[in-house]
Amino acid sequence: MSIKEIITVPDEILKKVSEPIEKVGINEKKLIIDLFETMYDSNGIGLAAVQVGILKRVLVIDVSNKDEEKSPIALINPVIRNFSNELSVYEEGCLSIPETFIEIERPKICEVEYVDEKGSKKNLKCDGLLSTCVQHEINHLDGKLIIDHLSKLKKDFIIKKISKNKKNPDRVVV
């Protein structure tokens, strides 16, 4: 198992729609372990497979506090079945968009249907931070990022800033 490199904007893969998993096998189980390791290593509370370059509908979440016991949840083929009308707002960051935080309003409560790492169908009622996190991660599976909530101008500005800060390989003249 290993910690994977997290892909950041403006990589085009982040805009792609991930494919459903047909059967939970050894590769999917390995992928889930890698996603958890990568997410914990980066101090994230959620990570989708596309963020490590794998276009499969798999994501991992852990919204527990640092001083609490871990509560990892892996969701395969997640689908949101119900949304509340009531909204909540969080300042959201994303491991694929460094140093950027955007206030986003989303349904406060949602119900998500998914398959767990053992291949069983599950249902989870999510409230508050967990609800926001599940919706953020499912957006990743559909190629949607938090900057897509912004105007094109603001979005381009953020992407430009991030691209500029990215380390370029050493330039050599031969």
Which tokens is 101 given?
């935080």
Which of the following is catalytic: 28, 92, 117, 137?
137
Of the two residues 76 and 94, which places its CB atom closer to Ni ion in the complex? 94
Strand 87-94 with 97-107, pairing: antiparallel
Q: Write the interaction track for Ni ion spanning residues 38-77; mark x where CB under 5 A is met and - where it is not.
A: ----------------------------------------
* Dist CA 113 CA 121 (whole Å): 7
Please, what is the minimum distance in Å from the beta carbon of residue 156 to Ni ion? 19
Amino acid at 102: I
* Dist CA 155 CA 117 (whole Å): 35
* Dist CA 152 CA 16 (whole Å): 18
Tell me the window of 14-22, 88-96, 117-125, 158-166 that interacts with Ni ion (CB under 5 A).
Answer: 88-96
Catalytic annotation present for 37: no
Tell me the window of 52-60, 65-73, 93-101, 108-116 that interacts with Ni ion (CB under 5 A).
Answer: 93-101
Burial string for 51-72 (b: 16+ CB within 10 Å, else e) reads bbebebbbbbbbbeeeeeeeee
Residue among 6, 94, 130, 133 that touches Ni ion (CB under 5 A): 94
Please, what is the minimum distance in Å from the beta carbon of residue 140 to Ni ion? 6
CB-count burial class (<10 Å; 0-12, 13-18, 19+) for 13: middle
Please, what is the minimum distance in Å from the beta carbon of residue 139 to Ni ion? 8
Tell me the window of 15-23, 87-95, 111-119, 122-130 that interacts with Ni ion (CB under 5 A).
Answer: 87-95
Residues that bind Ni ion (CB under 5 A): 94
Please identify every residue annotated as catalytic.
Answer: 137
